[in-house]
Structure 1
């Protein structure tokens, strides 16, 4: 019998409220019960979608937050990378949420093994990349923080600075993509959100193409 893929049901206010529950164990219980099933729904669409779009097998990685022993996570996500063993060392795409917003991003985080080479390549092409990216895309330098800057506000020079820091600083990160505020996301139909993420990932594809040699190592 043919497997029927899950359809993403959309975000609700309860999903965002789950990210404010006090205590590690209670918050993780809510994340596992309410949010991770939605990540699986999204993954059933985006793992094959990214595989088709990028021409390389992509694999799903739901954040487990296993290293945490005291403090509950302020955000949670599902990531997609070309490595079936993990995503943290590689360029990847991710969908996730804080209590205040959801995000659909491409990026390298601090554990990326080739992020210095990627940062150097982006810095060298910062004018072209700035012209390719939507001006209202967010640029994030710390995936644990809910703060971001817009591409249009950074400008080519600011984008170059972020990329140069990625190349030079071990803990530096660079994530780029779409941010949707809590209230807007909670009132958005599931298929509408899926289309928004598709558009965000497609717009971030030039960055993946720069990272592709590293992504497939």
Structure 2
């Protein structure tokens, strides 16, 4: 936990501050930075950590939001609606109604997941329209359901050593994810 607090968290705070104005302009509303604190942990670090941006200064979990974070294997750049959000059903209806268009518009290398604690996901290229409808149905019917979509970058990818390219990739990914965010309201 000490290494996470001293080495990783300051980088996430800098990234959060750098991306917030871009996301605010993109979304047309103020987007606030929320760096994971892992407040209940004292010794054992979590498997992942992140910075999130949402349109609420006090928190992000109850809102559709954007995140950049990392597991040991990869960095993730995502749009997320997690189980605490009342917007799940709104998004589910749009996901179901627009599944063909979403499949067409998002890059094949993006991935989808229904569990923010699990580093795995399913590539967009492997999903069929029926899979989007199944995700929508789960969002509507299962209280603890959630959905995430975005890009994974392998931890060995050289882009992670080039701050400018990484920022550009994050911004480009958020550009592509914006229609999902807009469908959550």
Tell me the TM-score normalized by structure 1.
Answer: 0.81
Return the alpha-carbon distance in structure 2 between the equivalents of residues 41 and 132 of structure 1: 31
Return the alpha-carbon distance in structure 2 between the equivalents of residues 165 and 133 of structure 1: 21
Unaligned runs of 5+ in 2: none
Task: Give the superposition deviation at 1:98.
Answer: 0.4
The secondary structure found in structure 2 opposite 1:130 is helix
After superposing the two structures, state which structure 1 stretch, 175-184 or 66-75, moved more.
Answer: 66-75
After superposing the two structures, state which structure 1 stretch, 135-144 or 162-171, moved more.
Answer: 162-171
Q: What's the counterpart of residue 99 of structure 2?
A: 126
Task: Give the superposition deviation at 1:186.
Answer: 6.7
The secondary structure found in structure 2 opposite 1:199 is helix
After superposition, the C-alpha distances for 1:18-68 in whole angstroms (9 at most, x for unaligned) are xxxxxxxxxx21111111111112112111110111110000000111234
Return the alpha-carbon distance in structure 2 between the equivalents of residues 68 and 41 of structure 1: 22
Structure 1 residues 210, 81: CA separation in 2 closer, same or farther (over 3 Å shift)?
same
Task: Give the superposition deviation at 1:100.
Answer: 0.6
Is contact 1:102-1:185 (8 Å) kept?
no
Return the alpha-carbon distance in structure 1 between the equivalents of residues 28 and 79 of structure 2: 16
State which of 28, 35, 41 in structure 1 corresponds to 2:14: 41
The secondary structure found in structure 2 opposite 1:183 is coil
The aligned length equals 185
Return the alpha-carbon distance in structure 2 between the equivalents of residues 57 and 183 of structure 1: 33
After superposing the two structures, state which structure 1 stretch, 116-125 or 198-207, moved more.
Answer: 116-125
Return the alpha-carbon distance in structure 2 between the equivalents of residues 166 and 187 of structure 1: 33
Matches within 5 A, 1:127-146: 127-146=100-119
Return the alpha-carbon distance in structure 1 between the equivalents of residues 76 and 177 of structure 2: 13
Larger radius of gyration: 1
The secondary structure found in structure 2 opposite 1:145 is coil
Structure 1 residues 42, 154: CA separation in 2 closer, same or farther (over 3 Å shift)?
same
Return the alpha-carbon distance in structure 1 between the equivalents of residues 66 and 125 of structure 2: 21
Is contact 1:47-1:58 (8 Å) kept?
yes
CA RMSD of aligned residues (A): 1.5
Q: What's the counterpart of residue 53 of structure 2?
A: 80
Return the alpha-carbon distance in structure 2 between the equivalents of residues 123 and 116 of structure 1: 10
Unaligned runs of 5+ in 1: 1-27
Structure 2 residue 37 is the aligned partner of structure 1 residue 64:
yes
Task: Give the superposition deviation at 1:128.
Answer: 1.1
After superposition, the C-alpha distances for 1:80-100 in whole angstroms (9 at most, x for unaligned) are 000111000000000000011
State which of 152, 165, 173 in structure 2 corresponds to 1:192: 165
